[in-house]
Each structure stands twice: as C-alpha cells, then as structure tokens.
Amino acid sequence: MEASLDGKVAIVTGAGSGIGRAAAAMLAAKGVRVGLFDMDEDTVKDAAADIEAAGGSAIASTVDVTDSQQLKQMFKQTIDQFGQLDIVFANAGINGTLSPIEHLPEEDWDQTLGTNAKGTFLTLKNAIPYMKEKGGSVIITSSINGNRTFSGFGMSAYSASKAAQTAFGKMAALELSAYGIRVNVVCPGGIETNIEERTEKDTAHLAEIEIPKVFPKGQHPLKGKPGKPEDVASIVCFLASDAAGHMSGSVLYADGAETLL
C-alpha cells in the first residue's frame, strides 16, 4: 500500500467497466476510498461491491457526466460520505458514431463532444470547490487518437473531443496550480475494454474515406496485443500519488509503442 494514497478519497467517472473500473479497484487496494460514477447502474454497483468484498471502501452513483445537476448532487453525496476529495479520475467517455464527416449526423457529433469534452469540463468544475483548499490530483483520460494518431477513419468527432481534453487539461493545470491541484492527461492506445460494443459504425459510407495502411508485422510492438485496463490504472495511481508531486500539465502515452509505427 502506498503511504501517500492511503486514506485519500477519489472520484472515478466511467467506473463501471474498463479502465475506470480497473483504476477504481487499484486505488481502493492502495487504501483510497472511492466514489464510483457511471451511467450504468448495474455495472457501477457491481464494481463497488467488488471493491467492498476485497476489503476496500466504495460507493456507487448513477451519473450522466453531461448533466451538471446530477454531477453536483453526486459530488456532494460522495464528500458527505467520505469527508474530503483528493483525487479525480475524469475517465467517462464514448467512441460515438464512426462515420465520414459528410454523413455524420449533427446530433451524433454533439453527443460525442458532449460526453467526452463537456463531461470532463463539468467533472473538473464540480471538483474544484472541494479540492482548492488542500490541493490534489486530477487525471483525464484522453487518447492517442486525439494527439498522435489520426488514421481512425470515421472518428472525427472522437478525435476532436480527445484533442480538446488534452488542451483543456493543460489549461486547467496552469489555472489550478495556485491551489496545488495537479492536472495530468493519460492517452491510452489499444486497450481491451468493452467500449467497442457501444460504438455505432456507418459501414455503408466508411469505405468511401478509408486509405490503405501498411504496418510492420503486428500493430502492438511491445506485447504483440492490446494492453489491459490495469496498464492504464497503474499510471493513474502513480499520477494520483505523491510520487508525481511535481508533475502537472503532462501528457503520458500508454500505447506499448503503437503510435511509433
């Protein structure tokens, strides 16, 4: 157990599955009391139950991160329960609809930018009042697709939202430094999560814009396969801890050298 994390309180959005769930579990194992936020009531309750069963402390909240009133209420509920807030992992996000720009419905663009960019903004906005007195750590999940890789055809809304998250994180790091609040960004590459199951694809039109790509053998140089949620969770724990006490405004890539191809 890391001494600098033991006894702290974290809020993790998108905590019902994938990277969020793995990070919440890993933080809890290091002595952090965790508030789990997710739109899916069943999965977030299940994630909290797993943490409790392992000896940790967690509460589950069903939250839409695009709804400022829901977020405000659940932040208050978490702080009322645990008494403080030290760590925020703004992880909730969607791939949205994969479609050429010409055919992408306006409402699908709005939904992707709303969940990923606006959701991150609202999460941090609601966290600041609880963190500004004593400081803390904020970690944002962006993606290689908004910073290093732009060959995800049909992912213009997703890439735009992820680039926005990175820029927002850097702006926030500087603005909040006076309060001792550190803000860093993690950009995962291919990670084994269930986000693809909730992704809509306009297959009728995607073939119109694809450009053939030829890679060296394999697209995941380090391990030969996509990473695990825990590979990102361990970085989140590092950034949340005092070991990263002089890091703010940094962008870390967790892609197994994938984007160096």
* Distance from C-alpha of 11 to C-alpha of 115, rounded to nearest angstrom: 17
Confidence at residue 196, expressed as pLDDT on a 0 to 100 scale: 57
Residue 202 counted as domain residue: yes
Per-residue confidence (pLDDT) for residue 202, from 0 to 100: 53
Residues 6+ apart with CB under 8 A from 116: 93, 94, 158, 161, 162, 164, 165
Band the pLDDT of 201: cuts 50, 70, 90: low
Tokens (6 digits) for 176:
């909040």
The CATH number of residue 65's host domain is 3.40.50.720
Question: Residue 2 falls within a domain, yes or no?
Answer: no
In a domain, 169, yes or no: yes
Which residues have a catalytic role annotated? 158
| 4 located within any domain | no
**Total domain count, the chain:** 1
Is the pLDDT confidence value at 108 over 80? yes
Give domain status of residue 1, yes or no: no
In the predicted structure, residue 177 carries a pLDDT above the cut 60: yes
Structural domain harbouring 71? 9-255
The band of 190, judged by pLDDT with boundaries at 50, 70 and 90, is: confident
Q: Is residue 219 part of a domain?
A: yes
| 22 lies in some domain | yes
pTM of the full structure = 0.91
In a domain, 225, yes or no: yes
